[in-house]
Structure 1
Amino acid sequence: MFETIEYSTENNVAWLRLNRPDKFNAFTEQMNFEITKALKEAERDQDVRCLVITGNGKAFCSGEDLAGVKEDTDHAEILRKRYNPMVEKLASFEKPVVAAVNGVAAGAGMSLALACDFRLMSEKASFIEAFINVGLVPDSGNLFYLPRLVGHAKALELAVMGDKVSAEEAKDLGLANKVIPLDSWDEEVSAFAENLANKPTKAIGLIKRYLRKSWDADLSEMLENEAYAQRTAGMTEDHAEGVKAFIEKRKPEFKGK
């Protein structure tokens, strides 16, 4: 089905692996389109309750493949056609998304990681706001997500200086949720994803949706949003199971319904 990525499912987790390891998983037009297609597939699949995005080989993603960039390239058209639909699909994806950053995430590769809900980093991984190094501006949602994660001043510093951010520094800044040793990488990423997949998926989707809306809402609007979300969550099978498990003093078995 795909040529530039690998897509598979296991234990209610969808795995999307960027698969151009010889090019450090740099984006091409085909890869952008295939990622968006895989996101739609994972969204439709009711058995998928968590999505992991990672890279094959040494890198997570080195950004746009500059071999395809010419002097007369219209960067705005590239973003509108290829990157923006991918980032918007991620933003509307109401299941938890984990970026398993196995190596360098540079430029739009960093943007892809920022657009995910959780970022796990290998101890050898790093982030680089590489846009400035080729005279460009961070894109693909980067200027939206970065200041929300690290604050305005640090976002400006990272974007303008273009310095490498190590995994430990990323964790200290709030860019990474967890730094994982190489010798336990696969095991810990799988465990993290499967833990998310076993949680009440509908409630997670509602949390994601209204946290996103909270940036532009006042208190009264958010109180009403919370009431609506709580009513919706309260009608799910997972809520009924959670209450039953609490009364019976056992661990709930959520089904994502």
Structure 2
Amino acid sequence: MPVDDHIAVITLDRHSRRNALNHELCRTIRRQVSEALEAGARALVLTGAGTAFCAGADLDLGPESEGLYDEITATLACLQNAPVPVVAAVNGPAVGAGTLLAMACDLRIVSERAWFKIPAVDVAIALDGVSVRAAERLFGGARARALLLASETVSAAEALECGFALRSGERDDACALARRLADKAPLTLRHLKAEFTHDGYAPYTEAERERFRQAAANSEDLVEAAKARAEKRAPVFRGL
């Protein structure tokens, strides 16, 4: 997985199906996250090929769809549990599991072409509790209920208004944000990411979160930050 300036871009590349999720694409996302981290990425960008971000689960797989929702849940957990920030560059429609993918990222940059929809009530799918609570938290109570109960669409402008999206922009804007994040203290970022999973798909244990907190609190980067302040320069963090 190519890593440039400590960031990696993961592209959902199934544009003939508007990047709808099948087993292979879910596994590819997880593999690329792992490869990027092994290659030293300190921030990730998730985006879609073509004109869509992700059209959700591929509902046309028929018998081959068995186990797909487990694959999707594992992929959502992978993004949430990554020890580095994940920025969604939502370049177009994000439908169903596509909206869930955007929700699993830490920050969202949305194109004017983006919109969000979770049509669970239209296709008789039982959405898991983690996703329902995340929608309520990220979109706000009233808008989450409209999104889930009435299958209403949330536009890019509405996503910005309610705080679900950080700002309007394209892939380059998401990469610029990721580069800023990649300069931050890695161990502190890891600890914060672990804390954010407390109500996620696969929460870190209390012991793991405490271990990450201790590592950040006793890091060489903490010393580097103090030294940089005294020398009036930007700190150079090494994740040690």
Structures share a fold, TM > 0.5?
A: yes
Structure 1 equivalent of residue 54 of structure 2? 61
The verdict on how the C-alpha distance between 1:58 and 1:66 changes in structure 2, with shifts beyond 3 A counting, is same
Structure-1 residue corresponding to 2:13: 19
Residue in structure 2 matched with residue 189 of structure 1 by the alignment = 174
RMSD: 2.6
Long gaps (5+) in structure 2: 201-205
What is the distance in 2 between the residues matched to 1:23 and 1:73? 15
| More deviation, 235-244/109-118 | 235-244
1:203 corresponds to which residue? 188
Shift of 1:163: 1.8
The aligned amino acid for 2:45 is V
After alignment, is 160-169 or 53-62 more displaced?
160-169
Q: 3-state SS of the aligned residue for 1:63?
A: coil
Identify if the C-alpha distance between structure 1 residues 203 and 109 changes in structure 2 by more than 3 Å, giving closer, same or farther. same
Normalising by structure 2, we get a TM-score of: 0.87
Aligned to 1:174: 163
Alpha carbons 2:109, 2:166 under 8 Å: kept: yes
Q: Look up the SS of the partner of 1:213 in the other structure.
A: helix
Matches within 5 A, 1:2-41: 7-41=1-35
Q: After superposition, where does 1:71-220 map in structure 2 within 5 Å?
A: 77-80=67-70, 82-139=71-128, 141-180=130-169, 185-213=170-198
SS of 2:110's equivalent in the other structure is strand
| Pick aligned residue for 1:250 from 214, 233, 237 | 233
For 1:199 and 1:20, how far apart are their aligned partners in 2?
33
User: Would you say the 8 A contact 1:108–1:139 is kept in 2?
Assistant: no
- Could you tell me how far apart the structure 2 residues matched to 1:73 and 1:15 are? 27
Higher mean alpha-carbon deviation, 233-242 vs 17-26, is at 233-242
TM-score, scaled relative to structure 1: 0.82
What's the offset of the Cα at 1:9?
1.8
Q: 1:160 to 1:203 in 2, by over 3 A?
A: same
Count the aligned residue pairs: 235
Write the distance in 1 (CA, Å) between the matches of 2:29 and 2:58: 15
Say if 2:90 and 2:108, in contact at 8 Å, map to a contact too.
yes
Could you report, residue by residue, the CA deviation over 1:4-23 in whole angstroms, capped at 9, with x for unpaired residues?
Answer: xxx53211101110101121
Task: Look up the SS of the partner of 1:26 in the other structure.
Answer: coil
The answer on whether the counterparts of 2:130 and 2:199 sit within 8 Å (CA) in structure 1 is no
The 3-state SS of whatever aligns with 1:113 is helix
Distance 1:166 1:151, change over 3 A: closer
SS of aligned partner of 1:11? coil
- Distance in 1 between the 2:26 and 2:224 partners? 39
Percent identical across equivalent pairs? 32
Does the 8 Å CA contact 1:79/1:140 hold for their aligned counterparts?
Answer: no
State the SS of the aligned residue for 1:52: strand
Post-superposition offset of 1:91:
2.4
| CA gap 1:187/1:92 in 2 versus in 1, 3 angstroms | closer
Q: How far apart are 1:176 and its partner, in Å? A: 0.7
Output the CA distance in 2 between the equivalents of 1:228 and 1:28. Answer: 35
Structure 1 residues 157, 65: CA separation in 2 closer, same or farther (over 3 Å shift)? same
